[in-house]
Structure 1
Amino acid sequence: MTRPTIVILGAGLGGAIAAYDIRRTLGAQARIVMVSKGDIFHFTPSNPWVAVNWRKREAIEVSLPEVMKRKGVEFINVGASGIRPADKVVDLTDGRVIVYDYLVIATGPELAFDEIPGLGPDGHTVSICHVDHAVEAAGAFDRFLENPGPIVVGAVQGASCFGPAYEFAMILDTELRRRKLRDKVPMTFVTSEPYIGHLGLDGVGDTKGLLESEMRQRHIKWITNARVTGVDAGLMHVEEVNDDGTVKTVHDLPFTWSMMLPAFRGVEAVRGVEGLTNPRGFILVDKHQRNPTWPDIFALGVCIAIPPTGPTPVPVGVPKTGFMIESMVSAISANLKQILKGEAPSFEASWNAICLADFGDGGVAFMAQPQIPPRNINWSASGRWVHAAKIAFEGYFLRKVRKGQAEPLYEKLALDLIGAHKVRRVSTPASTPETLP
């Protein structure tokens, strides 16, 4: 009997661990093929460190072909140009086609810099969304240090990943203070969130109070309900919006250096496929991570469609954290096993959120179970221990990818974090930026 072919589209955080977990769950029952336009895994949460030269890109990269070969996963280092669900075909950019029995989409997002004139690495702001961008940002930061001036950091309308923006603002503050340049650098945080600490989740625990306090102590001004209308060289144009959507104030913010997170959309290969995506190109899935129109297609991670927590004056997306992604992977693997046995899928992902936001000399951690309120767990805390925890977790996760391990880590991290905080292990000395491993 011919083994079914399971194609995984994307080799990022979600795609890589999906390959490992599906192989572990199904054993030799299926042929597993990974399609990716690049053969290097990057640990995206470390990009803020790369952008200030606390990390070199090589330290957060894993070459995938060899590890996938060891795991019995065929690796195709060619991007997808399109999907034809009716034919169960993935079209590749080199003209080849891959026929699948089941497709797992884990592409991550396309970065929509073009939606705002002048935004992004091809415009006038830098990015930490991809390691290539972070490396470019590091070069720009070195040049900035020679002639420092105002900095603008934040996330534009439609963004759905706010934690890295806060993290990066605080890391910049830490690095500039270490260099004794902070007094020369006015800093403004610009965000589409309705309040500081909203995070696309309507806050978690006291993230509003914790993050506002951090920003006040670090002399970082902020503008919320912000809509960026355009970016010129050294000048960002921002509309501050009232709760009813009317324009309250127009800001023209001068900057010498700026990092703004963009809005996301689905990648070109899937956008516009009838029944597969929403208008932004994100994959529609049911509670079993399957597309309702094409049930042989599963999806996970940032590429899936999740409605916002509620209306906001400026569009705010919902983050898909590593905790959620691992849970989606586990559900997909278990459901595929049931389907191959002729059973109906029954496993559902637990959409919980956990985040370690490192500030270089401390940080904020939060956990939401479930991610969308009301919640059973609504917890946040801050301290120097968060910085140490982020370093430890980076090493742990990279080892997992290098070894092809499939066990979930975020849930263990969540339990360890809360347990450690409850027994007041909050005095763990944080490594300084110079001693980041």
Structure 2
Amino acid sequence: MAHIVVLGGGIGGVSCAYELKAAIRAEDRVTLVSNKPFFQFTPSNPWVAVNWRKKNDITIDLNEVLPRHGVAFNGAGASRVHPQENRVELGDGTSLAYDYLVIATGPELAFDEIEGLGPNGNTQSICDVDHAVTANGRWEAFCKDPGPIVVGAVQGASCYGPAYEFAMIMDADLRQRRIRDKVPMTFVTAEPYIGHLGVGGIGDTKGLLESAMRQRHIKWVTNAKVDKVEPDKAFVTEVDDDGKPKKAHELPFKFSMMLPAFRGIAALRNIEGLSNPRGFVIVDKHQRNPRYPNVFGVGVCIAIPPLEQTPVPVGVPKTGFMIESMVTATALNIGQLLRNEQPTNEATWNAICLADFGDSGVAFVAMPQNPPRNVNWSSSGRWVHVAKIAFEKYFLRKIRIGATEPYYERAVMRLLDIGKVRDVAQHG
């Protein structure tokens, strides 16, 4: 009998626990470890921040749902991974031994790398549902006394879609409240141009996103390095193509949300052979760590080098479709190893995203994620907003019923087919 431990209770971790149960032998067991008692559907956090969703709408009790599907749950979290001992030291001081370990922790949010950044500083966050709940409290107070907004993603960030989403969702909510005319908005990003997204753009994301921001009267600063954030002002240096300072910006605000850079969690950092200098897990094409072959990594916690050198550092996103593909490859490979076979499964590393704008949105597909690509497509319209709502329901259902089907791939590809058909109908 083998014991497989999964670290992380998010999209990657819970999905992997379910797929492992289908891939391993009947006598093997799976334990999921998380520092939170609930699963959160992170893509819906922007809606929580403007009170279009409540926390309970997008969270599921792990202690209730996992045992129902044959997965043990430990809510102590991990304080240190000891791969040379096949052991995870838990947050309560106990340890958990494993035969195989899947690391799906997601990132640590590096707010401390910029003075004044983050919920404990002067900006809000939508990276975590509890941060989004806090942001909603600030948002409601802001709407009673509106003023300038600064929104975006700082240097080293690797997840740009939610920054664009939240800017547009705030715009939509302000228009619904009839106070948009009182709110100047500036989008600040480390990207070299609007719509780069950490992957060199996808389809016409540059044109689509620039057009959306012009239509909504949102100004922007690209190649931006956030130096510090005071309670009512962001200090930003805009650099040129050589990375040299071009213009200094002092941007006043009454509300600000800036996505931070990511790094690996403390339990993974400074472990030679397991993680890189930022604490991200090193994996091969089978999602397997080269130094410790019984350790696998999936999702945002794994190391992926930047696509290209940019004037301000930008990271590479890991979207839900890509994460689900990593999960499937990992579960099948562990199943093979348990049967004394060599792992053969590889993730597809495609990027598919639905970026909701509150009343419309942009969808994009990159296959593979890095160019040159076989598919390089983007589109916009109200159908994207409807698709995002539908997908939220699909994925929460998957977690509740313990499904192992690739819901992300199936649901998104079906909805993208609808979008492509509309493109043809509109443009020929």
User: What secondary structure, in the 3-state scheme, does the structure 2 residue paired with 1:244 have?
Assistant: coil
Structure-2 residue corresponding to 1:403: 401
Q: What amino acid maps onto 2:251 in structure 1?
A: L
Residue 219 of structure 1 aligns with which residue? 217
1:188 counterpart (182, 186, 204): 186
1:14 to 1, 12, 15: 12
Q: Secondary structure of 1:423's partner? A: helix
Q: 1:295 is matched by which residue type in structure 2?
A: P
What SS is found at the alignment partner of 2:66? helix
Equivalent residue of 1:280, what SS? coil
What 5-or-longer segments of structure 1 have no aligned partner? 428-437
Within the candidate set 376, 379, 382, 1:381 is matched to 379
Matched, 1:52 2:33: no
| CA distance in 1 between partners of 2:320 and 2:63 (Å) | 23
Partner of 2:81: 83
Q: Distance in 2 between matches of 1:423 and 1:281?
A: 43
> TM-score scaled to structure 2, two decimals?
0.98
Q: Deviations over 1:297-334 (max 9, x none)?
A: 00000000001110000000000000000000100011
For 1:142, the equivalent position in structure 2 comes to 140
Equivalent residue runs for 1:141-220 within 5 Å: 141-220=139-218
2:410 matched to which residue of 1?
Answer: 412
For residues 254-287 of structure 1, give each alpha carbon's deviation from its aligned partner in whole angstroms, at most 9, with x where no partner exists: 0010000000000000101111011000000000
- Asked if the contact 1:383–1:426 (Cα under 8 Å) also holds between the matched residues in 2, the reply is no
Cα shift at 1:413: 2.8
Supply the AA of the counterpart residue of 1:19. A
After TM superposition, list the pairs within 5 Å mapping 1:21-420 onto structure 2.
Answer: 21-420=19-418
Are the equivalent residues in 2 in contact too, given 1:367–1:414 (CA < 8 A)?
A: no
TM score, norm. by length of structure 1: 0.96
Q: Matches of 2:28 and 2:199 in 1, distance apart?
A: 38
RMSD, aligned CA? 1.1
Q: Secondary structure at the match of 2:422?
A: coil
Q: CA deviation at 1:27?
A: 4.6
Aligned to 1:432: none
Query: Displacement, 1:426?
Result: 9.8
Secondary structure, counterpart of 1:169 in structure 2: helix
Report Cα offsets for 1:17-63 as digits up to 9, x if no partner. 00001001225241111111112001000000000000111000111
Following TM superposition, by how much is the alpha carbon of 1:423 offset from its aligned partner in structure 2, in angstroms? 2.4
Q: Deviation per CA, 1:376-419: give whole Å up to 9, x if none.
A: 00010000000000000001110110111111022213421332
- Answer yes or no: is the 8 Å Cα contact 2:383–2:419 preserved in 1: no
Q: What amino acid is the match of 1:40?
A: F
Determine if contact 1:238/1:252 at 8 Å carries over to the other structure.
yes
User: Which amino acid in structure 2 is aligned with residue 133 of structure 1?
Assistant: H
Whether contact under 8 Å (1:173, 1:182) holds in the other structure is yes
Tell me whether 19-28 or 141-150 shows the greater mean CA deviation: 19-28
CA contact (8 A) 2:395 2:408 kept: no
Deviation at 1:425, TM superposition (A): 8.2
Contact 2:319–2:353 under 8 Å retained in 1: yes
Assess, with a 3 A threshold, how the Cα gap between structure 1 residues 426 and 56 changes in structure 2: closer, same or farther. Answer: farther
Q: 1:112 to 1:426 in 2, by over 3 A?
A: farther
Identity across matched positions, percent: 64
Are the equivalent residues in 2 in contact too, given 1:41–1:64 (CA < 8 A)?
yes
Number of equivalent positions: 425
- Whether the 8 Å contact between 2:25 and 2:335 is mirrored in structure 1 is no
Asked whether the equivalents of residues 354 and 368 of structure 1 are also in contact (C-alpha less than 8 Å), the reply is yes
- Cα distance in structure 1, aligned partners of 2:420 and 2:190: 33
* 1:309-361: CA deviation from partner (whole Å, max 9, x where unpaired): 10000000000000000000100011011111111111100000111111111
State the SS of the aligned residue for 2:236. strand
Structure 1 residue runs of 4+, over 2 Å off? Answer: none
Counterpart CA distance in 2 for 1:85 and 1:326 is: 24
Letter in 2 for 1:15: G
CA contact 2:379–2:423 (8 Å) conserved in 1: no
